[in-house]
Amino acid sequence: MKTMQILFIAFLIVPFVEIYVLLQVGGLIGAFPTILLVVFTAVLGAWLLRRQGFATWQRFQSGLAQGEIPAYEMIEGPILLVGGALLLTPGFFTDMLGFACLIPTLRRKIAQYIIEHHLLQSQVGSVFQQARNSQTIIEGEYNKQD
């Protein structure tokens, strides 16, 4: 399945899941406690996002200072941004996904998967692509005569 198809399906399904879960929780504990719980998870998520973001930024800067390429930190940054956006979206399902993005070991595994399966493969493919393209180059000389 293509990425755009997956995103389209997610944008269709996630709101229905959110509404269903909010209605179920609201039926169990009431409307006001449900609203407070949604606000509390957003505030807690913003606080955790800030802490995790600063820690990732410090690791990024220390990696650069040591002359290393901070590949994991460059991937973890966007994962944190997605997690923050999910935490600020009202609902429990998106909060669950957002909190999952804030767990350092899980975030590291996601970054490792992205680096190994998407970035490295595309670079290997580009090396072979360059080698194949270099064989089709025809060198020659020409002179323009008036």
Please state which of the ranges 75-84, 112-121, 130-139 shows the lowest mean pLDDT: 130-139
State the residue for tokens 């600020």.
Answer: 88
Distance between CA atoms of residues 130 and 134, nearest Å: 6
In tens, the pLDDT along 15-73 reads 999 999 999 999 999 999 999 999 999 999 999 999 999 999 999 999 999 988 888 89
pTM of the model: 0.73
In tens, the pLDDT along 82-106 reads 999 999 888 999 999 999 999 999 9
Closest C-alpha among 146, 41, 53, 61 to residue 104: 53
